[in-house]
C-alpha cells in the first residue's frame, strides 16, 4: 500500500504542551497550573441568550460571514474600546474561535516561499499554520531583558526580501508581555517602510493590567495592512462556544471568507446569538473577571519575590513566566521534577518555542486558594533544589 499521509503534515511537530499533560493526567492529586482557559463559567445572561435563541428556533446556518447584528456590535466595540472603525459588511468575518481566523488569514495571504515573522515564545499555532499555508516561518527570539516585547532592531534583523507577514501576539501567551503605543509605533514604522502586513492576535486584549490595550491597527497607515484577530473565549469566558472574528482590509477579508465558506460554512449559530449579548452587555463581567485575575497576578508576583525567583512583571493575559535558569536544568527537566516531587503541573517554556528555555508558564486562571497551595509547594521544591547545590 502507498503511504497514505501527506509528508507536510507528518513533519509538523505535535504540540509540546500535549506531551506534558498526557503525563500529568496519568497521576493523581496533581495541582495543575497549566490550563490556558478562564476558570470562570460564561456569565449567565450570555448563556441564557444562547438558550433563548434555541427556544426561538434559531437553529439554521447564518450567512457565511456571520450574523450582521454581531458584526455591527463588534465594529461598535472596536470603535468604543480601541479607536478603530471598520465597515460592518466588508471588513469583518465571524470565525470558529480566533484559531480559525489565524489559519484562514495566513492561507489567504501567503504564497509558497513567503516569509512570516513569528516572535517567540508565543502561542503554538502560528508556526504550523504558516507551514500549512505554504509559508516559511522566521522566528525572532524575544528576550527577558526586553520584558519579552518585540523591538524594532529585532524586527529589522529578521527581515528579508521574502518577508510578507509579521505576527504580533500581544498581550502574549505564554509570557504575559504587552506592547504599549510607543513600542507599536516603532514596529509600525518598519512595516510601512518595508511594505509588510501584520496579523495582530488580540485575543487577550481585554486582559491588561496597566491601562487599556492598544491595537497596532489604530496607528495611522496600519489599518490597511493589519488583520486583527480577536474572539470571545478569553474576555467573556466563552472558550467552549468556539467563536472568534477577524477585522481587516476588504481585499483580504473577502479571500478569507472564501476559504471559510468552503471549509466551515459559518460559525455556530447559537454561539453567535449569545455573543451579541456578551459584547453588548458584558462590560461589567469583563471588569469583574479582570479585577480577579489582577489580584491573582499580584499574588503570584509577590510569591515569586518571596522565593527569590526572578520573574519580569507581566501586564497582560493570565500567565506569568518565571525565570528558572539559576537551577541549571532545562525547562522540561524542571517541570518533570516539580511534578514528581510536589505534584504541581506547569508548562515548560520550551513548549512555546526554543526561546522559552529556562522559563515556565504558570497560568493564573485558577482560584486564589489553588494558587496559594501550589506556591507553597513550589517554594518547598525550590528550597530543596537550592540546598542541594
Partner 1 sequence: MREEILNFIEKNSRVDLKEVAVCLGISEIDVANELAAMESEGIICGYHTLIDWDKVTQERIHALIEVRVTPQRGRGFDEVAERIYKYPEVQATYLISGGFDLLVFMEGKTLREISSFVYEKLSTMEFVMSTTTHFVLKKYKDHGIILNSKNEDERMIMTP
Residues forming contacts to partner 1 in the complex (CB under 8 A) are: 15, 17-18, 21-22, 24-25, 35-37, 39, 123-125, 291, 295-296, 298-299, 302, 368
Nearest approach, Cβ of residue 18 and partner 1 (Å): 4
Nearest approach, Cβ of residue 345 and partner 1 (Å): 10
- Which CB sits closer to partner 1, 164 or 361? 361
Nearest approach, Cβ of residue 30 and partner 1 (Å): 11
Contact 121, 356 (CB under 8 A): yes
Q: Which residues contact 216 (CB under 8 A, 6 or more apart)?
A: 168, 179, 184, 187, 188, 198, 200, 222, 226
- Which CB sits closer to partner 1, 18 or 156? 18
- Which CB sits closer to partner 1, 245 or 293? 293
Three-state DSSP at 235 gives coil
- Which CB sits closer to partner 1, 6 or 302? 302
Per-residue H/E/C for 250-270: HHHHHHHHHHHHHHCCCCCHH
Nearest approach, Cβ of residue 348 and partner 1 (Å): 13
Nearest approach, Cβ of residue 45 and partner 1 (Å): 15
Contact 264, 242 (CB under 8 A): no
Q: Which residues contact 89 (CB under 8 A, 6 or more apart)?
A: 68, 71
Nearest approach, Cβ of residue 35 and partner 1 (Å): 5
Nearest approach, Cβ of residue 34 and partner 1 (Å): 8
Q: Which residues contact 355 (CB under 8 A, 6 or more apart)?
A: 120, 121, 139, 141, 142, 143
- CA of 185: how far to CAs of 22, 175, 216, 218, in Å? 42, 21, 8, 10
- Which CB sits closer to partner 1, 22 or 145? 22
- Which CB sits closer to partner 1, 35 or 190? 35
Nearest approach, Cβ of residue 355 and partner 1 (Å): 17
- Which CB sits closer to partner 1, 91 or 127? 127
- Which CB sits closer to partner 1, 63 or 367? 367
Question: Largest Cα–Cα distance of the chain, in whole Å?
Answer: 66
**Cα 287 to the center of its chain, rounded Å:** 19
- CA of 388: how far to CAs of 51, 307, 384, 385, in Å? 57, 16, 6, 5
Contact 170, 67 (CB under 8 A): no
DSSP per-residue letters across 301-356:
HHHHHHHT-------BTTEE--B-GGG---HHHHHHHHHHHH-EE-EEGGGG-GGG
Amino acid at each position: 500500500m502507498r503511504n497514505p499521509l501527506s509528508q507536510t503534515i507528518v513533519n509538523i511537530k505535535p504540540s509540546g504542551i500535549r506531551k506534558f499533560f498526557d503525563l500529568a493526567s496519568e497521576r493523581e492529586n496533581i495541582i495543575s497550573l497549566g490550563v490556558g482557559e478562564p476558570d470562570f463559567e460564561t456569565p449567565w445572561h450570555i448563556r441564557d441568550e444562547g438558550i433563548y435563541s434555541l427556544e426561538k428556533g434559531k437553529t439554521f446556518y447564518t450567512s457565511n460571514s456571520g450574523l450582521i447584528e454581531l458584526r455591527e456590535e463588534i465594529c461598535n466595540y472596536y470603535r468604543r474600546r480601541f479607536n478603530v472603525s471598520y465597515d460592518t459588511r466588508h471588513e469583518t468575518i465571524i470565525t470558529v474561535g480566533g484559531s480559525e481566523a489565524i489559519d484562514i488569514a495566513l492561507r489567504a495571504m501567503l504564497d509558497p516561499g513567503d516569509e512570516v515573522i513569528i516572535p517567540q515564545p508565543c502561542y503554538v499555532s502560528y508556526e504550523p499554520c504558516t507551514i500549512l499555508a505554504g509559508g516559511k516561518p522566521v522566528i525572532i527570539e524575544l528576550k527577558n531583558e526586553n520584558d519579552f516585547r518585540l523591538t524594532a532592531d529585532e524586527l529589522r534583523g529578521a527581515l528579508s526580501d521574502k518577508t510578507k507577514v509579521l505576527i504580533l501576539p500581544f498581550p502574549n501567551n505564554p509570557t504575559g508581555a504587552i506592547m504599549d503605543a510607543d513600542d507599536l509605533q516603532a514596529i509600525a514604522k518598519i512595516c510601512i517602510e518595508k511594505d509588510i502586513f501584520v496579523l495582530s492576535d488580540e485575543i487577550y486584549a481585554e486582559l491588561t493590567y496597566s491601562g487599556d490595550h492598544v491595537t497596532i491597527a489604530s496607528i495611522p497607515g496600519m489599518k490597511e495592512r493589519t488583520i486583527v484577530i480577536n474572539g470571545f473565549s478569553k474576555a467573556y469566558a466563552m472558550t467552549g462556544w468556539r467563536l472568534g472574528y477577524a477585522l481587516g482590509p476588504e481585499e483580504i477579508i473577502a479571500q478569507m471568507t472564501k476559504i471559510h465558506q468552503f471549509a466551515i460554512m459559518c460559525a455556530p449559530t447559537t454561539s453567535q446569538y449569545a455573543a451579541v449579548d456578551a459584547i453588548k452587555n458584558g462590560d461589567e463581567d469583563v471588569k469583574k473577571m479582570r479585577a480577579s485575575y489582577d489580584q491573582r497576578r499580584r499574588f503570584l508576583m509577590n510569591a515569586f519575590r518571596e522565593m527569590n525567583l526572578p520573574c519580569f512583571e507581566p501586564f497582560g493575559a493570565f500567565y506569568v513566566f518565571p525565570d528558572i535558569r539559576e537551577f541549571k536544568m532545562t525547562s522540561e527537566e524542571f517541570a518533570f521534577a516539580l511534578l514528581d516531587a510536589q505534584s504541581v503541573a506547569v508548562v515548560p517554556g520550551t513548549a512555546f518555542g526554543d526561546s522559552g528555555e529556562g522559563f515556565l508558564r504558570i497560568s493564573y486562571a485558577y482560584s486564589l486558594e489553588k494558587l496559594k497551595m501550589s506556591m507553597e509547594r513550589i517554594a518547598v521544591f525550590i528550597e530543596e533544589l537550592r540546598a542541594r547545590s
